[in-house]
Amino acid sequence: MATNFLSTAANLILPPSSSSSPSPSPSSSSSASSFFAYGYPIKCNFKRQTILCKSVNHLPAAALHGPIVTKRTLSLSFLTSFVLSFSGKGSSDANAAILEAEDDEELLEKVKRDRRKRLERQGVINSSKKETEYLQNVVYNLSKVGQAIENNDLTTASSVLGGSTNTEWVQNANIALNKLSSSAEEKDAVDIFNSSLATLISSVSKNDVESSKLAFVSSASAFEKWTTMTGLFEQLKGL
């Protein structure tokens, strides 16, 4: 092994052979040898190099080839990575479960609130028999007006509507609408109904068929929307 190492080292140092390159002196071959690298002599002590080579040959394998990776090391590394990744996944799943539980609780509370409101509203409606009759009369009158306008019979429509919003059935309708309206959306629907109804009465009085048709659709739609929001849609006949 020492001989091979020295031979390799010599090949790395020596330049290509040429006729002009000086040859080593025989007298110096026993203890030291002179090599010429780029024209300059480099003295090497063979004995010292041999000792160095032997020292290298007796170095532990770990020193020559780096740290040894055993099956046990690989198993421990894999197990550690698996445990850490599993722990992270478990933590994220736990956080997701907590958020989902909070969402479920909020949804459940909303359902309870909505159900409580419906029961309260139903109680008010059940105790408002008179107001329900007023609203049923609105459905009846609007139905007659709609049929008359469809037949271009504005005279009949005018007799049902009256000459202004001060007629009894319109006044009674507003009493019921105001009493049973609780939310801002319901009150807005009432305002649209009253405004459209006033336009309808005015258009019929002017004998304007097209404007009467548009005003009728607007007032009927607003009233139907209000009955849907208040839960009265199924209790009133003719809608």
pLDDT digits (tens, 9 = 90+) for 114-128: 777 766 667 767 777
How many other β-carbons are positioned within 10 Å of the β-carbon of residue 121? Answer: 16
More confident residue, 232 or 104: 232
Query: Residues 13-39: what's their mean pLDDT?
Result: 44
Q: Confidence class of residue 21 from pLDDT cuts 50, 70 and 90? A: very low
Of 220, 212, 201, nearest in space to 140 by CA = 220
| CB distance 24 to 31 below 8 Å | no
In order, the DSSP letters of 150-167 are HTT-HHHHHHHH-SSTTS
CA 11 to chain CA centroid, Å, is: 70
More confident residue, 63 or 135: 135
Q: How confident is the model at residue 223, as a pLDDT?
A: 97
Q: Is the pTM of this model over 0.85?
A: no
Strand-pair partners of 207: none
3-class DSSP assignment, residue 195: helix
Query: Residues 200-220: what's their mean pLDDT?
Result: 96
Report how far apart, in Å, the C-alpha atoms of 17 and of each of 8, 21, 184, 186 are: 16, 7, 106, 109
Q: Confidence class of residue 239 from pLDDT cuts 50, 70 and 90? A: confident
Determine the Cα–Cα distance for residues 215 and 193; give it in Å rounded to an integer. 10
Q: Tell me if the domain spanning 129-230 has CATH number 1.20.120.290.
A: yes
What is the dihedral angle through the alpha carbons of 102, 106, 111, 113, rounded to the nearest 10 degrees?
A: 140
Query: Residues 148-167: what's their mean pLDDT?
Result: 94
Determine the Cα–Cα distance for residues 178 and 232; give it in Å rounded to an integer. 14
Determine the Cα–Cα distance for residues 187 and 193; give it in Å rounded to an integer. 10
Burial class (CB in 10 A: 0-12, 13-18, 19+), 50: middle
What residues does each domain of the chain span?
2-65, 129-230
More confident residue, 207 or 12: 207
Residues 6 or more apart whose CB falls under 8 angstroms from that of 65 comprise none
Question: H-type helices in 15-70, by residue range?
Answer: 46-57, 61-65
Min mean pLDDT across 38-42, 142-146, 184-188, 223-227 is at: 38-42
